[in-house]
């Protein structure tokens, strides 16, 4: 007898009675505040580069009500010109004197989300800021940042016509001083943003100090509306509700591959965050995985969209539209912010017992006299971030509920939607509440079931057929003439540190100084922007480059090679900006003295000096040919090296520099003829 069969048989023989939950509308209590997703850490970078027909379908699947994920909340990064996980998002203010509201893509994403769901809630958060914030005072948590945030809010309002609903503090960093938070609140009020509310923490630190400080300082307590925690697992915050009387949210969660593993974990989190911690909102990182390959946390999104050149995208790692967007839909298509949870203590929500196969369920009722209600049941297996009570073994079983006080009674039609690893979000046969008000629903092991009075749900289908996956197109050429000045991202390039933009028909690195103490991660990597995919192996790369002296530079360009340089790289493999050191690939760099350097990752392959005197204001052509194990480099027409190296076989192409104005033009990638 197999172990699993034995366990199943044992459960079937158990005589322990199952107390059928009575769904009593009078226990409705906690306000449901919405399910959302994060566009942050540059995780959405390539989405804007998709052809409009495919892009529109993707956006519909994410934001359109009763269609796909139907998100209630869009949380976005306030760009800060520094590495924030899988790239760098551009700031609206590179320096104190500079402001441009049209940089990047977050304002565009807000417009698209609001176009599909005008009621979507907007939430902004900083990962870091440019160096000038607090440079002469108290650093990140300084009055400079109040003005910086206010200008960002004005930018979003001016570019989109919408007001941001919530602001966090500093992503996964210690909370700012109480005076900083109070000052930010006063600045927002004075600037016309009294309706933009502050949510504190946005990290995984202890809540104790926050609660104590709020109890002791009524002005501080009044300055924020909610408390958020990341990847809370079972970290309950009862004093947030009982002492501060504020909602407790999971302001970043999931971070799992968009396979069934991530889909099932997300289903667990959406139920158990409330059941175990009274969390009334949960936000996934990330909204969509739309970054170049070889970057950290591959596929950690509700969908994948990494090939704007082909138009291919998917909702899961099995190349289908399956994925966490459908476990999202099990909640979001049936429940809206303002609905109320039925209390765990009243058995309206809770963990299911072994006698019916374990799992969890939540019940929510509409805010309009409880005319509608929804039950979401999950028996997913996981694993997830942490082992919660009931997580792990689940079994087939029939779950029963008594539809009690205040809820629609006998004769009411309940619509049933199901998901499992094979088929996700499909409509099953309706249930009609019988005269005894007890409904029964069979819930198999490792599945999700929604039972609801809401009849508008649908499994959305893209209007355009998803094209097949394809390699990055070669030959590739860009002279950067077709882009608007200093606004939208340059096609297919994904900045990792610093900020690159189209200016004067050139591709330019424009950040004059590293973020210093305002960076999100302590690692220090000089600016670089990446393009391509893992098909780029035997190629020749060309670019014309110039640079201006660095004014305030630090970083790995220091030392004999200097701070002012540009570089051209190929076969960058498993890149991460969350570490020190040169890119893991082959790079040719030239500095302002005429010194050149060829590297394979941190290993110096060759170095030399161009003829002197060297004029750094003259444009130079960098060329790098990678042909199997043969690595060849030129500057202009001068052959610098022709060597053999075996470290890297394929990967991304990169353009990089120090923290100074650097320009790139006439960029090309061509395949080496074999």
| pLDDT-derived band at 5, boundaries 50, 70, 90 | very low
Q: What is the pLDDT of residue 553?
A: 57
Interval 103-128 mean pLDDT: 98
Q: What is the pLDDT of residue 316?
A: 64
For residue 469, pLDDT over 50 is answered with yes
Q: What is the pLDDT of residue 673?
A: 85
Q: What is the pLDDT of residue 387?
A: 57
The helix, strand and coil proportions of the chain, stated in percent and rounded to the nearest 5, come to: 20, 30, 50
Q: What is the pLDDT of residues 239-262, one digit of tens each?
A: 999 999 999 999 999 999 889 999
Interval 515-530 mean pLDDT: 88
Q: What is the pLDDT of residues 307-364, one digit of tens each?
A: 999 999 996 666 678 899 999 999 999 999 999 999 999 999 999 999 999 999 999 9
Active-site annotation holder among 172, 241, 421, 523: 172
Give the dihedral sign, CA 347/352/354/356: positive
Our answer to whether residue 172 is catalytic in this structure is: yes
Partner residues linked to 432 by β-bridges? 413
- DSSP for 279-333, please give it: EEEEEEE-S-B-S-TTSSSTT-SSSEEEETTTTEEESSTTSSS-SHHHHHHHHHT
Q: Give 58's Cβ-side CA count (13 Å radius).
A: 31
- DSSP for 467-491, please give it: PPP-PPPSSEEE-S-SSPTT-SPPT
User: From CA 235, how far away is CA 216, in angstroms rounded?
Assistant: 23
Question: How much of the chain, in percent, has pLDDT values that exceed 90?
Answer: 83
Q: What is the pLDDT of residue 555?
A: 56
DSSP 176: P
| pLDDT-derived band at 6, boundaries 50, 70, 90 | very low
Question: Between 470 and 612, whose confidence is greater?
Answer: 470
Domains recognised in the chain with CATH numbers: 3-24+351-452 (2.60.40.1180), 33-333 (3.20.20.80), 476-671 (2.60.120.560)
For residue 390, pLDDT over 50 is answered with no
Least confidently predicted of 4-8, 189-193, 297-301, 414-418: 4-8
Interval 34-47 mean pLDDT: 98
User: From CA 436, how far away is CA 646, in angstroms rounded?
Assistant: 74
Q: What is the mean pLDDT of the chain?
A: 92
Please check whether residue 352 is in contact with residue 390, taking contact to mean a CB–CB distance below 8 angstroms: yes
Q: pTM of the prediction?
A: 0.95
Interval 511-526 mean pLDDT: 87
Our answer to whether residue 97 is catalytic in this structure is: no
Q: What is the pLDDT of residue 14?
A: 39
For residue 479, pLDDT over 60 is answered with yes
136 Rama class: left (phi>0) / alpha (psi -120 to 50) / beta: alpha
Please check whether residue 335 is in contact with residue 124, taking contact to mean a CB–CB distance below 8 angstroms: no
Rounded to 5°, angle at Cα 216 from 214 and 222: 40
Active-site annotation holder among 106, 252, 307, 378: 252
Q: What is the pLDDT of residues 146-158, one digit of tens each?
A: 999 999 999 999 9
Q: What is the pLDDT of residue 12?
A: 39
Backbone torsions φ then ψ of 554, nearest 5 degrees? -140, 170
Q: Give 551's Cβ-side CA count (13 Å radius).
A: 9
Q: What is the pLDDT of residue 475?
A: 98
Interval 375-403 mean pLDDT: 83
Strand duo 476-478 + 448-452: pairing: unpaired
Q: What is the pLDDT of residue 2?
A: 40
Q: What is the pLDDT of residue 648?
A: 97
């Amino acid at each position: 007898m197999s172990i699993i069969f034995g366990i199943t048989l044992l459960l079937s023989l158990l005589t322990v009675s199952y107390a059928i939950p009575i769904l009593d509308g009078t226990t409705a209590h906690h306000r449901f505040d919405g399910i959302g997703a994060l566009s942050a850490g540059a995780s959405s970078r390539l989405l804007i580069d998709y052809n409009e027909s495919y892009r529109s379908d993707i956006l519909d699947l994410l934001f359109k009500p009763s269609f796909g994920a139907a998100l209630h909340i869009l949380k976005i990064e306030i760009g800060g010109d520094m590495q924030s996980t899988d790239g760098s998002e551009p700031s609206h203010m590179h320096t104190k004197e500079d402001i441009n509201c049209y940089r990047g893509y977050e304002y565009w994403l807000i417009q698209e989300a609001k176009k599909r769901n005008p009621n979507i809630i907007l939430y902004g958060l900083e990962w870091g800021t440019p160096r000038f914030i607090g440079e002469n005072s108290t650093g990140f948590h300084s009055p400079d940042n109040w003005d910086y945030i206010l200008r960002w809010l004005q930018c979003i309002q001016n570019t989109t016509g919408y007001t941001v609903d919530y602001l966090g503090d500093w992503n996964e960093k210690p909370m700012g001083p109480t005076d900083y938070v109070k000052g930010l609140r006063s600045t927002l009020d004075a600037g016309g943003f009294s309706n933009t509310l502050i949510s504190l923490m946005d990290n995984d630190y202890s809540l104790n100090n926050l609660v104590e400080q709020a109890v002791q300082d009524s002005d501080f307590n009044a300055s924020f509306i909610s408390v958020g925690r990341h990847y809370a697992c079972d970290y309950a915050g009862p004093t947030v509700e009982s002492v501060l009387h504020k909602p407790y949210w999971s302001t970043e969660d999931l971070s799992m591959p968009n396979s069934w593993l991530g889909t099932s974990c997300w289903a667990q989190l959406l139920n158990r965050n409330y059941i175990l911690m009274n969390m009334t909102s949960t936000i996934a990182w990330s909204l969509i995985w739309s970054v170049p390959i070889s970057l950290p946390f591959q596929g950690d999104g509700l969908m994948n969209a990494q090939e704007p050149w082909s138009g291919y995208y998917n909702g899961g790692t099995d190349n289908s539209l399956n994925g966490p967007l459908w476990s999202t839909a099990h909640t979001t298509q049936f429940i809206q912010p303002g609905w109320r949870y039925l209390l765990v203590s009243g058995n309206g929500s809770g963990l299911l017992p072994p006698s019916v196969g374990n799992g969890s369920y939540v019940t929510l009722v509409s805010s309009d006299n409880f005319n509608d209600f929804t039950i979401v049941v999950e028996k997913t297996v996981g694993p997830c971030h942490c082992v919660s009570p009931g997580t792990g073994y689940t079994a087939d079983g029939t779950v029963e509920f008594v539809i009690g006080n205040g809820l629609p009674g006998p004769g009411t039609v309940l619509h049933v939607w199901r998901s499992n690893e094979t088929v996700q979000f499909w409509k099953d046969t309706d249930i009609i509440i019988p005269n005894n008000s007890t409904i029964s629903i069979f819930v198999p092991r490792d599945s999700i079931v929604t039972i609801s009075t809401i009849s508008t749900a649908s499994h959305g289908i893209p209007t355009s057929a998803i094209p097949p996956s394809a390699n990055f197109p070669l030959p590739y050429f860009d002279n950067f003439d077709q882009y608007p000045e200093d606004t939208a991202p340059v096609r297919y390039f994904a900045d990792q540190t610093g900020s690159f933009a189209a200016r004067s028909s050139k591709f330019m690195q424009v950040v004059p100084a590293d973020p210093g103490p305002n960076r999100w991660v302590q690692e220090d990597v000089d600016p670089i922007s990446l393009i391509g995919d893992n098909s780029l192996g035997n190629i020749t790369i060309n670019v014309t480059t110039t640079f201006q002296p660095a004014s305030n530079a630090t970083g790995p360009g220091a030392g004999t090679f200097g701070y002012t340089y540009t570089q051209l790289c190929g076969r960058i493999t498993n890149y991460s900006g969350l570490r020190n050191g040169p890119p893991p690939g082959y790079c040719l760099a030239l500095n302002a003295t005429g010194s050149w350097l060829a590297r394979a990752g941190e290993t110096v392959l060759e170095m030399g000096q161009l003829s002197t005197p060297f004029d750094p204001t003259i444009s130079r052509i960098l060329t790098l040919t990678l042909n199997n194990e043969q690595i060849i480099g030129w500057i202009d027409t001068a052959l610098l090296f022709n060597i053999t190296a075996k470290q890297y076989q394929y990967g991304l192409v990169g353009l990089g520099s120090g923290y100074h104005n650097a320009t790139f033009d006439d960029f090309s990638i061509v395949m080496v003829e074999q």
